[in-house]
Amino acid sequence: MKTFHRATALVATALLATSLAACSHSNPSNDKESASAQATDSASTGKATQGDQQTTVAAQPAPDGYQTVTAPTTNLSFAVPGDWEVLTGDDLKDDQKIEEIANRSGNDPDQIRQLLSGLELQAMATQPDDNNFAENANVAPVQGVTALPTEDVMAQQIKLQGGTPGEYSTSQTSLGEVAILTYTLSTQAGEGQGAVIAAPTKNGGWAAITVMTMDASRTQELTETITSTLS
């Protein structure tokens, strides 16, 4: 039976969840500097936040051929392809579903549970692409982040996880401003083309949404759809 690389895809989510969490656990030698920067940012953020609220855009409906998915804890909703399989933390209790995923991906069920345990939601193609890789998007809540992550912070953590940072950008969504960093990551299927979206949540927290495919233009397409439909 032909298997595809589901486990590899999950690495990208763990990568950014770890990256953003690290934003709030800086090196002690830099704490004063970071605190000063945060204070300055907070002062400007108060003004920026008001501006952001004025410049937020309405979430677009899911395009044809797409479905809207919702992460149960952060309550983030966005569109992914309609034929993708969607898993949440509740599915970890479904032994049959976990067994099916393990069989398709060629992994042990316990490994699948471990990989999924840090995720709030995973949406993944049920059929692999030409590289035998399953396109995917994932959501992981992030603790300790209080402001939009900078390019340096996100890029540094990507590098620590073995990835190569690409282009950093920001975008206005219905929830406010999000930060996006593209990156590449070596996988069993080849050079993965990823994007990380750092997004504010409705409850005042932050979450990491990761996207990975084997084609940069496809990753960009999915990322733009997610940000435009984010609510």
Task: Indicate whether 48 pLDDT > 50.
Answer: no
134 in the Ramachandran plot: left (φ > 0), alpha (ψ -120 to 50) or beta? beta
69: enclosing H helix or E strand:
strand 66-70
Contacts of 3 (CB under 8 A, 6+ apart): 104, 105, 106, 132
CB-CB contact of 229 with 198 (8 Å): no
**C-alpha–C-alpha distance, residues 23 and 34, integer Å:** 10
pLDDT band at 142 (very low <50, low <70, confident <90, very high): confident
Task: Indicate whether 129 pLDDT > 70.
Answer: yes
Report the percent of the chain where pLDDT is more than 90.
45
Q: Which domains does the chain have, with CATH numbers?
A: 6-229 (3.40.1000.10)
Q: Tens of pLDDT along 52-84?
A: 444 679 999 999 999 999 999 899 999 999 999
